[in-house]
Amino acid sequence: MASEINRGQRISAFPDLSWLSAAFFSLPLLPVAAFAAPKHAPPLPPGTVAAPTKLSSAAIVAASTATPSTDKVYEDVRMLLEVLSDIRQDYVEKTDPRTLLYGAAEGMVRRLDPFSQFLEPQANQDLKTETKGEFGGLGVRVSAEGEWLDVITAIPDTPAFDAGLLPEDRILAIDGASTKGMSNWDAVGKLRGKPGSEVTLLVSRRADGGGESRFTVTLKRQEIKIRTVDTSVSDDHIAYLRVVEFNAKTPEDVLRSLERDRKKGATSLILDLRNNPGGLLDAAVKVAGFFLPAGKLITYTEGRNPLSRVEYRGEGAPTSPDWPMAVLVNENSASGAEIVAGALQDDGRAVVIGERTYGKASVQSVIPLANSCALRLTVAHYYTPQGRLIQRDEKKHTGGISPDITVPVPDSEKDKLFRQWELIYAKGKSPRSAVKKRDQVPDDALDMADSVLRARRALMRLGTGRG
């Protein structure tokens, strides 16, 4: 069929679909349960790189014959191919058939929900890179909000940091290509690459006496581990642990941070999940399990298919502290962050403070397709251990994780607060906030968590004294 269209032959009514008809009606009928859910593994969340076994097109076509609407489905497929044929032959400009098919797949998936997604080859590879938690790059965070590409910070122990790139440096060109008007996405694509390869940057830096200095630096890309955890311990022995997202490296980083905090004398913990969009389900379950007894239910999934009912339980961690805990959340805490907060809240392990979370609880499987594409498909929803549906339903005003203590943040302060959480680094100096102290806004939720843990400690001492 494709060869006929490529030769520009006009098909009077519609392309010959005898091959499709044969595929539909010569295959044995398969039970729906045989392909509705993978047998070898439970569904996985958004961002996971693991995927169920690819369903063959034969199985999918055969499945269609198991429903009474076979004729309707067949006609709809004919219509899709007819549109493809008409565009290929009559559209004013020459078109690429693969681009058209990708567009059709993308549009079809977009009708389902905001989280299902058709992934073209590059997007599929990017997804694997992000969730793996490492990539070939320079270790520099950049912003393209202005006209040029500005450095936010270089990450310690990376090529960018070792080369002395500083906050507010401006990257004017990447391998000779001007960054003026370049998007963040394009810039990151040019900065990343195969470990061991080189990239040359033209950098502008503000001079102390005004003006600027320019210099060129050639850096060798290396495998960059995405840092998802920041930690510190206050003078009052309260550990602060911020988890930015959940990738493959996060559980290991969390355990390492907890052990370091213990050695610094921490006796209680604030777990900050604000603006955490989630990530890998496995990583979120492991982190929640660090603070709960082994075997404790963390979350479970349910969907249309009975096989989608899967329970996820924590493995426990004998080295994790049994400290009093507060968990911080906001309206941008989603997916894995909500699973962790919900599990700790249901168990009574931690007090949850902040704002109602986003309510993104779609369980998604990443199914590999032809041409290195993939389909990220919603197959179920998450529930907390006590059966609360995390997925938000605005009509019913349900979903998300409602905090035990609500601390609203004015809209005028949300961006400022998010910005001041960003840490910037420079050689020989301690990390500092991206926002100068005089310009920072109060972090009321963090202050509330600190007060709650201090009050709890005081009550315990009072109780012991009367014991």
Ranges 221-230, 343-352, 423-432: which has the least confidence: 423-432
Residue with the larger pLDDT of the pair 381 and 156: 381
Residue with the larger pLDDT of the pair 369 and 446: 446
C-alpha 453 chain-centroid distance: 30
Q: Which residues of the chain form CATH 2.30.42.10?
A: 134-225
Looking at residue 109, its pLDDT comes to: 87
Compute the distance between CA of residue 289 and CA of residue 292 in angstroms, rounded to an integer.
5
Looking at residue 177, its pLDDT comes to: 92
Q: 364, 365, 127, 134: which is closest to 249 by C-alpha? A: 134
205: tokens are 């830096």
Quickly tell me which residue has 């990443």 as its tokens.
Answer: 366
Looking at residue 366, its pLDDT comes to: 83
Give the list of residues 6+ apart from residue 382 with CB closer than 8 angstroms, or none: 45, 299, 300, 301, 335, 338, 339, 361, 362, 363, 389, 390, 391
What mean pLDDT is predicted for residues 300-308?
86
Residue with the larger pLDDT of the pair 298 and 460: 298
Query: Over 60: is that where the pLDDT of 59 sits?
Result: no
Would you say the C-alpha torsion 426, 141, 432, 455 has a positive or negative sign?
Answer: negative
Write the DSSP assignment of 103-164 as a string of letters: HHHHHHHHTT-SS-EEE-HHHHHHHHHHHHTEEEE--EEEE-SSSSEEEEEEPTTSHHHHTT
- Residue 426 burial class via C-beta count within 10 angstroms: exposed 0-12, middle 13-18, buried 19 and up: middle
Query: Over 60: is that where the pLDDT of 364 sits?
Result: yes
Query: Over 50: is that where the pLDDT of 393 sits?
Result: yes
CA angle 233, 338, 416 (to 5 degrees): 60
Looking at the DSSP assignment, which residues form a beta bridge with residue 217? 201
Query: Over 90: is that where the pLDDT of 336 sits?
Result: yes
What mean pLDDT is predicted for residues 313-320?
75
Active-site annotation, residues = 335, 346, 360
Query: Over 90: is that where the pLDDT of 8 sits?
Result: no
Looking at residue 67, its pLDDT comes to: 52
> Do residues 418 and 433 touch, judged by C-beta distance below 8 A?
no
| Amino acid residing at 392 | R
CATH architecture of 229-466: Alpha-Beta Complex (3.90)
Query: Over 80: is that where the pLDDT of 49 sits?
Result: no
Compute the distance between CA of residue 192 and CA of residue 170 in angstroms, rounded to an integer.
17
Q: Which residues of the chain form CATH 3.90.226.10?
A: 229-466
Strand 268-272, strand 325-329: pairing? parallel
pLDDT (tens digit, 9 = 90+) per residue, 110-166? 888 777 888 888 777 776 666 565 567 888 888 777 789 988 778 777 898 888 888
Looking at the DSSP assignment, which residues form a beta bridge with residue 268? 238
* Topology adopted by domain 134-225: Pdz3 Domain (2.30.42)
Compute the distance between CA of residue 323 and CA of residue 254 in angstroms, rounded to an integer.
15
The rounded percent of the chain whose pLDDT value lies above 90 is: 33
pLDDT (tens digit, 9 = 90+) per residue, 76-118? 788 888 888 898 888 899 988 888 888 888 888 888 877 788 8
Q: 450, 437, 359: which is closest to 402 by C-alpha? A: 359
